[in-house]
Structure formats: C-alpha cells, structure tokens
A and B are shown apart, each in its own frame.
Chain A
Amino acid sequence: MPAEANRAVSERPRPEGTTEAVPGKTIGDYTHPDAVMSCRNVDVYYGDKQAVMDVSLDIGRNEVISMIGPSGCGKSTFLRCLNRMNDTIDIARVTGDITLDGENIYDKRLDVVQLRARVGMVFQKPNPFPKSIFENVAYGPRIHGMARDKTDLEEIVHESLERAGLLKEVKDRMDQPGTGLSGGQQQRLCIARAIAVNPEVVLMDEPCSALDPIATARIEDLIDELKQKYTIAIVTHSMQQAARVSQRTAYFHLGILVEVGTTDHIFTNPTHKLTEDYITGRFG
C-alpha cells in the first residue's frame, strides 16, 4: 500500500471545493467474476509525482466500464496503463500487477505491439492515418499477418467497417483519404481500425469529446453493439454518457479509485460523499 492510501483520514488529501477526504480504500467491489483484465495495486509516477495510487480494478469480459472523475484525477493515466501506452512517456513509471487473461502485460518478454493489438485504443481526437479509408483499416491486419490474401484482407476491412457502422457511408469511396471524413466518421474509422485486429479489449479515451451530439449518439450506439464481442473501457467527462453506455462505473479522484460499482448504483445512490458530490456537480 502506498503511503497516501495508508494515511489517517485527517491526513488524507481533500479535493478542492470539498471538505470530504478521499477514502482510505476503494469503496465497492473492484473485482469481476469474469475478468479479462485484472489490475492490482497499480501505482503510476511521472517523475516524482504520483498520478495513480494503489488502484485495483478488474475489467470484466464483454462489459463496458466507464472511468469518471475531474481533470487530473488519473483516469486517463490508468487507462493508458492497460495497453502500456505510458511506456511512450520517458518519465512514466508503472508498478503493481496488470494481467490480460492471466498474463502479466508488463512482462519484459511480452511483445508490446501484440499487446496493443489485443488491447486497442481510441483517442479523444480522431487520428486516422494520412492514408485511404481502406488502408487505415487494412494497416493493422496486414502488419499482424492476419490476412492470407487480398480477398481475405478486403473481407476484414469490410467487416470492421460494417461493425463500426461506417461501411454504408464509405463503401463507394474506400480509396479516398480517411482525413477527408467528418469528425464522427473519422472516429468510427478509428474504431474500425482498432477492431480490425480482433482485440479483446478496446480502450476509449474520451472518444466523443470532439464530436457533435448526433455523432456522439452514433458512437454510443456503436459501443452498445460492440460490447457483444469486445470489452470496452471508456474514460469520459460526460456523466450522462457514462450512465448511458456502461454497466460499471469507476470514480477516480486525486489518483485514487474512490468508488466502483454498477452504473445504476453509482448514478442513483452512490456510497461515498465525494462520488455523490462529484456526479451531482457540487465540485470538480
């Protein structure tokens, strides 16, 4: 246990705008009976600064789990641990255990490129490659050797675009640049790109924050469909979005996982005062 979480209540940090201290340990059951990913006592440091403190959380198979909390609470940092995106930051250091299907993802022998195929990611701002729509989706399956031939590759691309709900809109212009699509279409293209390599988990870091309400609704509808086949962990600033799309919700504050529970519980009758105050817009 890190020093922060072991402190007496009077010494624990208090978020600005409230007199309530963060709890000494996470409120609610952070385990899942069918966990695809398991995180235990995860700490993340950026140099000397600790951004995530002693977080334990399971990500259940075929569930959508949302991570909420004010800016700087560590939710995105934690999400990025799940496919080792923090490796790209020199000063970042991750400790604790994170497993995918029981396998330690921080094992030195593990191929990070393979890991990121199994745990895909969609970012806040759509970031299609400066290539054609077809190539954006075909890139992953090609480098991972997933297609036997051209027909096979075309099939994967079509199926991924279909699953991402984009095929109808782009099927007649597959050779045109992905960057020429609208923001919402670009984000669905990025989702198609992530699912083309058949991941087990898709991480979404505020995937709708740059989109208009209709494009947001399309992504939310898509998340609902994708959960039949994939596990989705989503970071969002929109309480309503978390309430709409996820089955479980995890509330982070000051790097600590304050409370986790079913979304119904968190949004109707949360246990901890900080959670209640945050989701009802009383601070943060």
Chain B
Amino acid sequence: MTELSESHTVKAYDNELDQLRLLVLKLGGLVVDQILLARRALKERDDDLARKVIARETEVNQLDTDGEELAFKLIAKRQPIATDLRVVLAMIRTITDLERVGDEAKKIAKTARKLIVDEVEPVPQFSRAIDRMAELAAKLMREVLEALDVFDADKAIRVAAEDRHLNWEYKQCLRLVHETLAQDSSRIEHAAEIVIVIKALERIGDHAKNIAKYVIYVVQGRDVRHIKTKQLAKEMGAEVTPPPGKDA
C-alpha cells in the first residue's frame, strides 16, 4: 500500500473516519486505565478502586456499542474500499479486542475484591511478578494504540514481538505459583486467584498483538493474523529482542 493523500473529496467521509478512529483511541485509553486501576486495587487492597473498575465496565461496553454503530453507518453510507475498507475493518476488530481487554481488567478487579473480602495475606513474590506483568501489558496496549493512531506497521510488529516477553513473564509467574504451592499447599485458594490474574494479563498481551496485526493489515494490505509473530518480524526486517532463552 502507498501512503494516502490527506483527505477525501467528501469532507464528511473524513470526519466519519476520524470519529471512528478517535472513538477507538478513547476506548483504548479507557481500557489501559482500567488495567492500571485494577492492578492498583489488587496491590493496595483497595476495595473502592476495585468497585470503580467493575462499575466502569459499562462505559467500555457503551463505547463498544457506539463504535460498532459508527462503523456500521460508515459502511452503509460510504461503502469504503481499498485502504478505507481495511481501516474500518481493523477498527471494528480493534473495538472487539479492546472490549475484551476491558473484560480482563474487570476480572482482575473482581479477583482483587475477593482477596480483600477473604482477607488473604499478600505474597510479596506474587505481587512483584504481577506488577511486572501488568506494567508490560499496559505498555503493550499503549504502544499498540500509538501504532494504530498513525498506522505505523514497524511499531506494530515490535509490539507484537514484545508480547512474547509477556508470555515469558506469564510462564515465570506460573512456575512461581507452582513452587509456592509445593512449599505450602494451604495457599491453594490464593494461588488459584493469582492464576486468574496472570492469565488475564497474558490475554491482554494477546489482544495487543491482535491489534498490532490489524495495523499491519491496514498498511500492507495482507491478512497476517495467522502468521507466527516471529516469522512476521523476520519478513518485515524488524529488530526485536527475544525473551530470555528464546530465539529472535
């Protein structure tokens, strides 16, 4: 695909595409905030904050519905083709992924509430590991939204490749849970909750990777969803750092 000229002859078409893009970015900003708040609620054992995250899920759902409606109307009115069509398709898919990221944040907030209500003693190793994962998951989401904003395929592939680091962190966390359980099996209930949280964070990384691949689809005009990230990064000549013990 080549770079597009700035605007359509019909200015209202540009406005509608802009509205859709801004709505997606707003939804993206909201779910990143949800991830960070859910993590804080968990870390600081803040029940009010956890409740706030759960309550804000309706805002996420509303933006999801509004975004679909905008895209639906845009297709009906403008019948987008070529890059425009790919942009609209990518935005619709991104909305779905972002809504699911919102669900994952809610899941973390709910788990936080359970741990607070049950007065479960925090395990410092778990907290540190979750912190690292949450930070990386939020970073991936922020960066993929930046890539989506300007349709930067190079940045997108770097985000997709960094998801491998989050997967690596997830496996480390899981190992930590197993080790803790091997030493103290009375922690089983707590461990199960922690697994829910780290799985949610790992899934957020997957959604960031999906969105990154939609960006590449818009820019390159080829569907790369089912191409392994490692292979795709190689094809695109992207310089990526592999997770510890893995090939680039």
Contacts and interface: CB of A to CB of B under 8 A. Distances in A.
Query: Which applies to chain B's interface (DSSP): helix, strand, loop or mixed?
Result: loop
Given A281-B13, A282-B8, A284-B9, A276 B85 contact: no
Nearest to A277: B5
A271 B221 CA distance: 10
Interface string A257-275: 0000000000111111100
B7 interface: yes
A279 interface: yes
Given A268-B221, A269-B221, A280 B83 contact: yes
Nearest to B221: A269
Contacts of A270: 82
B78 to A, nearest CB: 8
B63 to A, nearest CB: 27
Nearest to B9: A281
Interface in A240-256: 240, 243
A240 B79 contact: yes
Among B3, B5, B221, chain A packs the most CB atoms within 10 A around the CB of B5
Interface in B1-58: 1-10, 13
Interface in B129-186: none
A282 B2 contact: no
Nearest to A268: B82
Nearest to B10: A281
A115 interface: no
A195 to B, nearest CB: 31
A108 B8 CA distance: 47
A268 B81 contact: yes
A18 interface: yes
Contacts of A271: 2
B193 interface: no
A18 B81 contact: no
A276 B1 contact: yes
B146 to A, nearest CB: 24
Interface in B48-100: 79-86
Contact of B82 (A18, A19, A267): A267
A281 B8 contact: yes
Nearest to A284: B9
Contacts of B8: 280-282
A280 B79 contact: no
Given A268-B221, A269-B1, A276 B9 contact: no
A276 B84 CA distance: 10
A283 B9 contact: yes
Contacts of B83: 276, 280
Contacts of A281: 8-10, 13
A167 interface: no
A239 interface: yes
A279 B82 contact: yes
Among A240, A243, A272, A280, chain B packs the most CB atoms within 10 A around the CB of A280
Contacts of A279: 81-82
Contacts of B6: 282
Which 10 pairs across A and B sit closest by C-beta, in order of nearness?
A269-B221, A273-B2, A282-B5, A281-B8, A277-B5, A280-B84, A267-B81, A280-B82, A282-B8, A281-B9
Interface of A: 17-20, 239-240, 243, 267-273, 276-277, 279-284
Given A19-B5, A269-B221, A272-B2, 14 more contacts: A18-B5, A240-B79, A267-B81, A268-B82, A268-B86, A270-B82, A273-B2, A273-B3, A280-B4, A280-B82, A280-B83, A281-B10, A281-B13, A282-B4
13 contacts: A240-B79, A267-B81, A268-B86, A269-B1, A269-B222, A276-B1, A276-B4, A279-B81, A280-B8, A280-B82, A281-B13, A282-B8, A283-B9
Interface of B: 1-10, 13, 79-86, 221-222
